[in-house]
């Protein structure tokens, strides 16, 4: 009886201190597969993927055994890949069934300004598309509600829906807010006038801020120097002796307090374009044609600030790629479609992505069609890129680690390293051969899709 009382007191003390017992901790699971791609260039044969709740705990090689008591799920002779990442998408309930066309080549009708539009606040979590995307192999999207404007707003990183059916809370979908600002440009006087005017205005604002800071620092330095001089002069002067018997003067009355003032209006939120040119908000620039690129960079290069950026573009001819390579120090990467293109000057097919890779410029691939089918068919086009000479390592990086880095989530998406989100896919066959079959998909440790090859039956949240 006494032991029972002591045990009850101990449990109460543990609960009061907020200590989590091992039995209450999330269970550790081990998924065994014949191959596990931790990241591009890092493959483990006959290993175990350790997952605890929403995160990856680690990957064990064939010579290592999972800890005792861990639930082991043998997936068979399959390949585990990190979930893919799309850095630029506008897919929604209205467009995912139709042929939305490739996002990088979207032609905007007018130079609208939507810089203060936040994708995180525009997403509609109840749309079924966010669940169904879970069967595409993609684990995250850099999403914009409107990619056709001159300033298309601030992107958010979203994950496909998971959990039970029904309405999803917005926080379950949003991984990151303010992932980047998209700036688009099309040829034409109206676009040039708007783009040149707004960019110059933002650059001038930054220049004025820098000048104001410099003047404030100079003034502060002068005041400090003047105070030091006065202090030295005061020390050199002799202190006069007090007259004996002299009465001390009464202290001066306190100064009158100023009347209370109305509270100042809250400061206006910083201009996203100014933040982007400063480098405080990642900048994506979408320009489609070689002529538009030339026109855009004429006034972009004349700005008083030189921001780095990710270029979103359609496949370009070799001479245009060569011009862009000269901007390697300023270019953080390129978002492009995985296809080859023949241009007017020649009938020769050009693989622009391979030319960027050969010049060490990071490339992120996006589906040719921003639809559910476009995302599901992505590996077919990736296989075409491998046939065109893009190394398998770079091809896989272009849909995993590179876009994750562009979105500011390196080490969290596109990899299965310890601490990453447990979002991964299970394939039968070699995905980059174009003939692989997606068997299972997991988002943050939860299975959202399953395809049983023995019965051809589909199941999971991604179907509802």
Confidence label for 265 from pLDDT (cuts 50, 70 and 90): low
Q: How confident is the model at residue 345 (pLDDT cuts 50, 70, 90)?
A: low
Beta strands in 144-190, from DSSP E residues, in sequence order: 151-154, 156-158, 174-176, 181-185
pLDDT of residue 10: 46
> Tens of pLDDT along 100-145?
555 555 556 678 888 888 898 888 888 888 888 999 999 999 998 8
Please give the average per-residue pLDDT across 169-174, as a whole number.
Answer: 78
- What is the predicted pLDDT for the residue at 3? 46
pLDDT, one tens digit per residue, over 380-430 is 999 999 999 999 999 999 999 999 999 999 999 999 999 999 999 999 988
Q: For 434, which DSSP code?
A: T
Question: Any bridge partners for residue 341, and if so which?
Answer: 350
Q: In the predicted model, is pLDDT for residue 255 greater than 80?
A: no
Backbone torsions φ then ψ of 104, nearest 5 degrees: -60, -20
146 confidence band (pLDDT: 50, 70, 90): confident
Predicted TM-score (pTM) of the model is 0.84
List of residues 6+ apart from 96 with CB closer than 8 A = 129, 132, 133, 371, 372
* Whether residue 1 has pLDDT greater than 90: no
Query: How many other C-beta atoms lie within 10 A of the C-beta of residue 344?
Result: 6
- Answer whether residue 224 shows pLDDT above 50: yes
pLDDT of residue 237: 67
Higher pLDDT, 83 or 21: 83
Residue 122: exposure state from Cβ atoms within 10 A (0-12, 13-18, ≥19): middle
What's 97's DSSP letter? T
Is residue 180 within 8 A of residue 281, CB to CB? The reply is yes
Can you read off the two tokens belonging to residue 413? 């998406």
Mean pLDDT, residues 362-368 = 95
Question: Which structure tokens are listed for 263?
Answer: 């509270």
Note the pLDDT of residue 240.
Answer: 56
Confidence of residue 268 (pLDDT cuts 50, 70, 90): confident
- Which one, of 77, 24, 73, lies nearest residue 50 by Cα? 73
Q: What per-residue confidence (pLDDT) applies to 188?
A: 82
Q: What is the mean pLDDT of the chain?
A: 84
Domains of the chain, each with CATH number or no CATH: 84-212+271-410 (3.20.20.140)
Task: Give the per-residue pLDDT at 110.
Answer: 73
Identify the pLDDT of residue 94: 66
Which stretch, 130-134, 201-205, 252-256, 431-435, has highest mean pLDDT? 201-205
Residue of 111 and 28 predicted with greater confidence = 28
pLDDT in tens, 431-445: 898 788 999 999 999
């Amino acid at each position: 009886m006494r032991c029972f009382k002591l045990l009850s007191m101990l449990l109460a003390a543990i609960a009061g201190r907020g200590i989590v017992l091992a039995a209450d901790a999330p269970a550790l699971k081990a998924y065994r597969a014949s191959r596990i791609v931790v990241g591009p260039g890092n493959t483990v044969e006959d290993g175990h993927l350790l997952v605890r709740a929403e995160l990856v705990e680690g990957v064990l090689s064939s010579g290592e055994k999972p800890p005792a008591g861990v639930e082991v799920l043998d997936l068979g002779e399959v390949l585990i890949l990190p979930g893919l990442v799309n850095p630029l998408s506008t897919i929604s309930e209205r467009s995912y069934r139709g042929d939305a066309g490739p996002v990088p080549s979207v032609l905007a009708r007018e130079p609208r300004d939507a810089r203060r539009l936040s994708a995180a606040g525009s997403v509609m979590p109840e749309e079924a598309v966010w669940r169904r995307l879970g069967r595409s192999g993609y684990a995250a999207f850099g999403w914009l509600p409107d990619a056709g404007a001159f300033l298309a707003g601030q992107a958010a990183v979203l994950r496909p829906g998971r959990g039970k059916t029904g309405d999803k809370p917005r926080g379950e979908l949003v991984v990151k807010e303010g992932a980047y600002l998209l700036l688009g440009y099309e040829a034409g006087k109206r676009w040039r006038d708007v783009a040149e005017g707004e960019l110059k205005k933002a650059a001038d604002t930054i220049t004025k801020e820098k000048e104001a800071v410099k003047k404030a620092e100079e003034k502060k330095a002068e005041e400090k120097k003047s105070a030091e001089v006065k202090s030295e002069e005061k020390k050199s002067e002799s202190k006069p002796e007090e007259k004996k018997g002299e009465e001390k003067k009464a202290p001066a009355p306190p100064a009158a307090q100023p009347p209370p003032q109305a509270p100042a209006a809250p400061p206006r939120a910083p201009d996203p374009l100014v933040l982007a040119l400063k480098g405080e908000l990642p900048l994506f620039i979408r320009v489609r044609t070689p002529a538009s690129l030339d026109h855009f960079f004429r006034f972009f290069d004349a700005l008083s600030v030189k921001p780095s950026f990710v270029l979103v573009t359609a496949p370009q001819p070799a001479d245009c790629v060569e011009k862009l390579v000269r901007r390697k120090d300023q270019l953080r990467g390129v978002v492009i479609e995985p296809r080859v293109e023949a241009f007017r000057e020649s009938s020769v097919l050009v693989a622009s992505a391979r030319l960027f890779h050969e010049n060490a410029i990071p490339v992120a691939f996006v589906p040719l069609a921003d639809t559910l089918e476009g995302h599901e068919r992505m590996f077919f086009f990736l296989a075409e890129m491998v046939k065109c000479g893009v190394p398998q390592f770079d091809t896989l990086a272009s849909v995993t680690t590179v876009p994750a880095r562009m979105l500011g989530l390196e080490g969290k998406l596109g990899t299965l390293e310890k601490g990453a989100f447990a979002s991964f896919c299970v394939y039968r066959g070699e995905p980059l051969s174009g003939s692989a079959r997606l068997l299972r998909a997991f988002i943050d440790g939860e299975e959202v899709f399953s395809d049983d090859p023995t019965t051809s039956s589909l199941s999971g949240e991604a179907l509802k």
